[in-house]
Structure 1
Amino acid sequence: MKKKRPERRQGAAVVRGDLVSDSTHDQRLLDRRGPADWLHMDPWRVLRIQAEFVEGFGQLAELPQAVTVFGSARTSVDSPEYEMGIQLGRKLSEAGYAVITGGGPGCMEAANKGAVEAEGVSVGLGIELPFEQSMNEYVDLGIEFRYFFVRKTMFVKYSCGFVTLPGGFGTMDELFEALTLVQTQKVTSFPVVLMGTEFWGGLIDWIKNALVGTGKISPADVDLIHVTDDVDEAVRIIVEADNNRGGRLEEERKAAMTTVGDAE
C-alpha cells in the first residue's frame, strides 16, 4: 500500500510532502527563541495577519444572522452527541440562522450536516494545525486561517451567540473566551449555551464552588451560562436574546433620532 504523504492546510494553501513545515505559523509567530531575525520577520507577519482579517471580513460580511457551534473533533458519528449536533444545526437553520463551526469532524461536522439538511447556510472556519484536520464535507463556505486569534475574531464578530457541545481543550478555550467577552461587556446580549447537563455538570459545580465561593467571580456571572439537554430550548435561548437585542437597538435608534431632532 502506498504511504500517504503528509499534508497540511496553510491559510488558503495546501502543502504536501517535503513542503510541510515542522512548525505552524502560530508557533513561529509566538516563538522568540534563537537569533534576532524575528525583529525583521515579525513586521512582515503583520501584513499576513492583516490579509487574513481582510479575507475573513470579505467572505463573511454578507452572512445572515449566525450562531457558532463548538464541540469536539473526536466525537464519533454514532454517538448521542453527534446526533445532538445534527439536530442543533437543523433547528438553528430552521430558525433562520447560519451555522458556523470550526469546520472539522466530530461535533463540528454534525452541526454543519444538520444545517445542510435543513437547506441552511453552513460555514466552517478552519485552522492550520500540526496534525491534519480536513474541512468536513458539509461546509458550504470554508475559510482556512493560519492564526487562532484571527479565527476567534471571526467566530465572535459574525455570531449572535455560541452553543457548545461536549469537547476538549479547544472547546474550553473558546467557551471561556466567550464568557470573558460577555462578562466584561465586550459583547452584549450574547447567549452562551452548553449542551449536555451530565458532561458540563462538574464544571458548573466547580465554577459555583471554587470561583463564586472564593469571590473570584460574582454570583450573577454564573447566569451568563445556560445548560440544557434540549435542542429546542437552546434555540429558544438564542432567539430570545436576538429579539431582545433587536428591541434595544431600535430603542437606541429612536433615542438618537430624538436627540438630533431636539438639537435642530
Structure 2
Amino acid sequence: MPRDLSGEKYRGPEVLRRDQVDGTTTDQRLLDDKGSAAWLHTDPWRVLRIQAEFVEGFGSLAEIGPAIGVFGSARTPEGHPSYAQAEEVGRKLVAAGFAVITGGGPGAMEAANKGASEAGGLSVGLGIELPFETGLNQWVDKGINFRYFFARKTMFVKYAQGFVVLPGGLGTFDELFEALTLAQTGKITSFPIVLVGTTYWQGLLAWLRDTVLADGKISAADLDRLTLTDDVDEAVRLMVEASAKGGRSRQGGQPGEPGEPGEPGEPSSP
C-alpha cells in the first residue's frame, strides 16, 4: 500500500519524513537561537568554512604570476647547508622571473622565503593550523593561513608551475608524492619536480627503482618525472625550460585552453 507522506517536509535540498520531521524552520532557529555556539563545529558549517578557504585562496593567488613551490623541512636550522641552499633556491627562482611559494613555516621554508624576499621577488607562504608551529615566518610577503590541508594543497598545485623539493620529512614527502600522483594520473601536466640533495634523496629513489618498479607497482615513466641534483642552477633551469615549453598558466589550464568560467581575465558563460 502507498506510504503515508502526510508528515513529509522539505528543508532546502533535503526531504524529511516520519520521525525526521522537525517542528521548526531554519529561519526560526537562526533568529531565535541565543544559546550554544556548538553549531560552529558541525559539518554543514565546516562546508562553508572550506568554501571560504578556497575563495580566499583563489582570490589572493590568482594574479601572482608564474610561481614555483619550494618544499623542505621545518626542522632545518639556520646555518645548516640545506638552509643556505633553500635561500639560494628562492633567490635564483626570483632572478629567473618566478614567485616563490612555500608552506610559510620555519626551516627550509623560511630560508626559501628569505631568499625570494631579499631578492626583491614575491615571497608567498601558505600556512596551516598545526599544534606545534606558530604562524607564518617573517619573510612571507603574501600569506594565507588555512584550516584544512586539502584546501592548502590545492593552492600549491594550482598556482605553482613546478616543485623544488629540499630534504624534508613527512610533510615534504606528502607534497612530493601528491604531485607525482597527480602527474601520473594526468591531473596536472608540464609539471617539473626536482629533488635537491643527492645524498638525502638517493636512497628513496633506489627503493622506488629496485623495489617498487621492480615489483611492477609503478612504471619507469613515473620515475622519469623526478630529477635528482645538487645543483640549484640546474633546478632553476629545469623550471625555466618547462615554463618556456608552455607549461601551465597561472590559472592552472593548458596553453591554448580557456580558463575556468569566472576566473580573472577569462570570459564567463552567460
CA distance in 2, matches of 1:173, 1:83: 23
Equivalent residue, structure 2, for 1:214: 215
- What is the deviation of 1:252? 7.0
Q: Which structure exhibits the higher relative contact order, with contacts defined as CA atoms closer than 8 Å and separated by 6 or more residues? A: 1
* The structure with more helix, counted as a fraction of residues: 1
**Structure 1 residue 117: deviation in Å?**
1.4
Evaluate the alpha carbon distance shift between residue 190 and residue 75 of structure 1 in structure 2; reply closer, same or farther with a 3 A threshold.
same
1:184 partner letter: T
Paired residues of 2:165 and 2:196 also in contact (CA < 8 A): yes
Q: State the shift of 1:133 in Å.
A: 2.6
Written as runs of structure 1 = structure 2, the 5 A alignment for 1:1-264 is 41-245=42-246
Residues 181 and 247 of structure 1: is their aligned pair in 2 closer, same or farther, counting only changes over 3 Å? Answer: closer
CA distance in structure 2 between the partners assigned to 1:247 and 1:213 by the alignment:
32
- SS state at 1:245 partner: coil
Deviation at 1:245, TM superposition (A): 2.0
CA distance in 2, matches of 1:252, 1:55: 24
Shift of 1:210: 1.2
TM-score computed with the length of structure 1 as normaliser: 0.78
Q: CA deviation at 1:172?
A: 0.4
1:45 positional shift: 0.8
Q: Is contact 2:86–2:115 with CA below 8 Å preserved after alignment? A: yes
Structure 1 residues not aligned, in runs of 5+: 1-36, 254-264
- How far apart are 1:243 and its partner, in Å? 1.1
SS in 2 for 1:144: strand
Q: Report SS of the residue matched to 2:97.
A: coil
TM superposition shift of 1:132 = 3.0
User: Structure 2 vs 1, CA of residues 247 and 194 (structure 1 numbering), >3 Å: closer, same or farther?
Assistant: closer
| Greater mean alpha carbon deviation, residues 139-148 or residues 243-252 | 243-252
Q: TM-score, normalised by structure 2?
A: 0.77
Return closer, same or farther for 1:162/1:41 CA change in 2, 3 Å cut-off: same
- Which one-letter code corresponds to 2:188 in the other structure? V
Distance between the aligned counterparts of 2:126 and 2:226, measured in 1? Answer: 24
Deviations 1:168-222 (A, max 9, x none): 0110011000000111110000001100000001000000011110000011211
- Tell me what 1:11 maps to: none
- Tell me, in whole angstroms, the C-alpha distance in 2 between the residues paired with 1:142 and 1:242: 24
Deviation at 1:246, TM superposition (A): 5.1
Aligned equivalents of 2:182, 2:227: Cα separation in 1: 16
- Between the aligned partners of 1:155 and 1:236, the Cα distance in structure 2 is 20
Deviation at residue 247 of structure 1 after TM alignment: 10
User: What is the CA-CA distance between 1:251 and the residue it aligns to?
Assistant: 6.8
Unaligned runs of 5+ residues in structure 2 are: 1-37, 259-270
SS of the aligned residue for 1:126 comes to: strand
Total equivalences in the alignment: 216
Which structure: larger Rg? 2
- 1:85 counterpart letter in structure 2: A
